């Protein structure tokens, strides 16, 4: 009997290993492998077309005196600090509006989600046309209300605000997540709050936000990771200009690797970016642990 059970257990273990093997193989080949290779070549001066030369940690120490390194990191940080909370606020606002019982609700949900499907180069080209100083639809709207046209993509003061505005185009993806979270909030909590005399703002603050806190944290962390890796929009729309005002960190990595042919320095920059994202995410998780409410627990999760 025990022999039959052990055979069944081994068979199930084998089946489980076979099911997870595609992910494990892909993870090793396309994630761990490239990261390890990047860690190795970050210790070399490798002009791609020439033989690599071992230089130790010089690529990392050279960043201290690299003005573009600090500038690109600062630009990416500012973009993240503004675009992520703003996108979350807009997405949550739309989700709350679309959580009401009104006619045509499915149509409006689809309408607000569709823009999130358009991504990549096509989206960047679309917004380049919309932001055009001469014939862009945004400046045309400003002229209609009597305002001057704004050089969105050609002025150092406006290019980052333009890219932040553009990031709101894809709030539909987060909106769907918030909407799912809102529909999971027990109506009994709102009823109890109403009995206690709570108004709309009190219900939002003391019921909606605590119940949505895991969703908000999830969205915030993913937003930070994604915004620190912003690349396509800046490359297609401004190529880092004007005057390097939109030189995002990943764009600077790309330039070092494929324009300056400094693959070793680009790999070192990539590892610095990984470290920055890791530190920021850990800080966020540590500082919000006591403020996140998980159903079935007495207080915030650890």
CA-CA distances (angstroms) from residue 28 to 21, 34, 49, 275?
A: 10, 9, 27, 20
CB atoms within 10 A of CB 234: 27
Residue 79: inside a domain, yes or no?
Answer: yes
Task: Indicate whether 187 belongs to any domain.
Answer: yes
Do residues 242 and 208 touch, judged by C-beta distance below 8 A? no
Q: By the 8 A CB rule, do 285 and 221 touch?
A: yes
Cα angle 239, 244, 250 (rounded to 5 degrees) comes to 60
Tell me if 59 sits within 8 A of 40, measured CB to CB. Answer: no
* Cβ–Cβ < 8 Å for 216, 108: no
Beta carbons within 10 angstroms of residue 32's beta carbon: 11
Domain assignment of residue 254, yes or no: yes
Q: SS3 letters for 29-59?
A: HHHHHHHHHHHHHCCEECCCCCCCEECCCHH
Residue 212 and residue 207: Cα distance in Å, rounded? 9
Q: Is 8 exposed, middle or buried (0-12, 13-18, 19+ CB in 10 A)?
A: exposed
What is residue 4's predicted lDDT score, i.e. its pLDDT? 54
In a domain? residue 94: yes
- Contact partners, residue 33, CB within 8 Å, separation at least 6: none
Which structure tokens are listed for 124?
């960047």
User: Which structural domain, as residue segments, surrounds residue 211?
Assistant: 66-291
Given a contact cutoff of 8 angstroms between Cβ atoms, the answer to whether 244 and 156 are in contact is no
CATH code where residue 172 lies = 1.10.3720.10
Length of the chain: 302
Domains of the chain: total: 1
Whether 32 maps to a domain, the answer reads no
Rama region for 239: left / alpha / beta (φ>0; ψ in -120 to 50; rest): left
d(CA 173, CA 165): 16
Is residue 56 included in any domain, yes or no? no
Q: Which two tokens stand for residue 281?
A: 């995410």
In angstroms and rounded to an integer, the radius of gyration of the C-alpha atoms of the chain is 24
Domain-embedded: residue 119: yes
Flag whether 8 is in a domain: no
Decide if 247 contacts 238 (C-beta within 8 A).
no
**pTM score, whole prediction:** 0.89
Going residue by residue through the chain, which has 302 residues, state the pLDDT in tens, using 9 for 90 and above.
455 557 777 888 888 888 989 999 999 999 899 999 999 999 999 998 889 999 999 999 999 999 999 999 999 999 999 999 999 999 999 999 988 887 888 888 888 888 888 888 999 999 999 999 988 999 999 999 999 999 999 999 999 999 999 999 989 989 999 999 998 888 888 889 898 888 889 989 999 999 999 999 999 999 999 999 999 999 999 999 999 999 999 999 999 999 999 999 999 999 999 999 999 999 999 998 888 887 655 445 44
Residues ≥6 apart with Cβ < 8 Å to 13? none
Three-state helix/strand/coil letters over 130-153: HCCCCCCHHHHHHHHCCCCCCCCC
């Amino acid at each position: 009997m025990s022999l039959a059970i052990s055979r069944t257990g081994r068979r199930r273990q084998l089946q489980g290993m076979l099911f997870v093997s595609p992910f494990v193989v892909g993870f090793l080949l396309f994630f761990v492998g490239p990261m390890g290779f990047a860690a190795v070549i970050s210790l070399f001066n490798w002009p791609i077309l020439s033989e690599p030369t071992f230089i130790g940690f010089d690529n990392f120490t050279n960043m201290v005196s690299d003005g573009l390194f600090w500038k690109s990191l600062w630009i990416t940080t500012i973009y993240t600090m503004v675009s992520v909370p703003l996108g979350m606020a807009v997405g949550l606002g739309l989700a709350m509006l679309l959580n009401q019982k009104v006619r045509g609700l499915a149509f409006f949900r689809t309408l607000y989600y569709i823009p999130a499907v358009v991504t990549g180069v096509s989206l960047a080209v679309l917004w380049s046309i919309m932001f055009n100083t001469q014939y862009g639809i945004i400046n045309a709207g400003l002229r209609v209300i009597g305002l001057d046209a704004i050089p969105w993509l050609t002025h150092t003061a406006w290019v980052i605000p333009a890219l932040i505005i553009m990031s709101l185009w894809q709030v539909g993806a987060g909106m769907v997540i918030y909407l799912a979270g809102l529909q999971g909030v027990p109506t009994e909590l709102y009823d109890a709050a109403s009995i206690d005399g709570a108004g709309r703002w009190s219900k939002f603050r003391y019921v909606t936000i605590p119940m949505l806190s895991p969703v908000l944290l999830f969205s915030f962390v993913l937003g930070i990771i994604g915004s620190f890796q912003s690349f396509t929009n800046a490359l297609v729309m401004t190529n880092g200009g004007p005057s390097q005002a939109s030189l995002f960190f990943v764009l600077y990595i790309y330039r070092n690797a494929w324009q300056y042919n400094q693959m070793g320095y680009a790999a070192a920059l990539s590892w610095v970016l990984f470290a920055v994202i890791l530190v920021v995410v850990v800080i966020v998780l540590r500082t919000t642990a006591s403020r996140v409410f998980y159903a079935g627990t007495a207080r915030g999760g650890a």
